[in-house]
Structure 1
């Protein structure tokens, strides 16, 4: 748990739409890295799952091109971590955002499957992760997130130790 939020990174490749649906089925939403610290935490989280994949998160400009908003409907705000020449809406179809080389990159919502990161507050997921867990730098992680059942594998700080 980081600042009262539990996170889970999936190395299953899905489109942005499929990833958003999968997070919802598991009781959460695609995550929203709204500040430098959360962004750095999420990068370290997804790298612990896969160092070679892109990872989707909950930012898009589907309503109006160039006006990015989070999946909760709030505006992007002042913080961002766009890669060089991003967002670029290449081909006119790039409305959903992913991590690419640790930077934000707009991509197609219905194409280019990637890993994804969900989040929720513990009350939505009925508490923190359950064993088997190990602790590393005050973070609890399911030992085998790739084979974990739905609802397992959440990464947390503080309250979930």
Structure 2
């Protein structure tokens, strides 16, 4: 009887482990967070927009490109959780045509925005990159691409996108 229980326990353990291993291989990489069809990484280090973009590329990702209010709400909540008061680079810029805001990886014009009132301002004529401004209730602001902020990378979720993991 004890032998049968040991065998059943071992069998259960092996099945459970293989299920977890299979599940882990289809989720976002360690340190990334799943929302919708994407995985997100929130940096703890600050760089300028260009280095931030390169860092995302090194992870086969891009700076986050916000397409909806629900996605924006997720990013804002995560940013507040992992870096309260911190600003984060997003993938938007208007350096090709001033005032025409596009996502850097696709050159698509923004179809959703969450600008802080009075933004974008292009103060000093050199504010060509978008960041999620931690000090102003996590709204968007334009600023010089040379400022150092944390950043948010995004890449495709390798699973089926049917559940939210965080």
The bucket for the TM-score relative to the shorter chain is 0.7 to 0.9
Alignment partners' CA distance in 2, 1:97 and 1:63: 14
* Contact 1:87–1:105 under 8 Å retained in 2: yes
SS of 1:19's equivalent? helix
Is 1:42–2:75 an aligned residue pair?
Answer: yes
Alignment partners' CA distance in 1, 2:121 and 2:55: 27
Rg comparison, structure with higher value: 2
Identify the match of residue 118 of structure 1 among 153, 157, 161.
Answer: 153
Alignment partners' CA distance in 2, 1:160 and 1:84: 32
Deviation of residue 159 (structure 1)? 6.3
Structure number having the greater helix percentage: 2
Unpaired stretches in structure 2, ≥5 consecutive residues: 1-33
Alignment partners' CA distance in 1, 2:162 and 2:87: 24
Identify the match of residue 75 of structure 1 among 109, 116, 120.
Answer: 109
Alignment partners' CA distance in 2, 1:4 and 1:63: 29
* Contact 1:2–1:157 under 8 Å retained in 2: no
Deviation of residue 160 (structure 1)? 5.1
Alignment partners' CA distance in 2, 1:160 and 1:115: 22
Alignment partners' CA distance in 2, 1:38 and 1:160: 14
Alignment coverage as a number of residue pairs: 129
Identify the match of residue 144 of structure 2 among 108, 128, 133.
Answer: 108
1:17-28 superposed matches below 5 A: 17-28=50-61
Structure 1 ranges of 4+ moved more than 2 A: none
Structure number having the greater strand percentage: 1
Is 1:61–2:94 an aligned residue pair?
Answer: yes
Alignment partners' CA distance in 2, 1:159 and 1:35: 16
Unpaired stretches in structure 1, ≥5 consecutive residues: 128-155
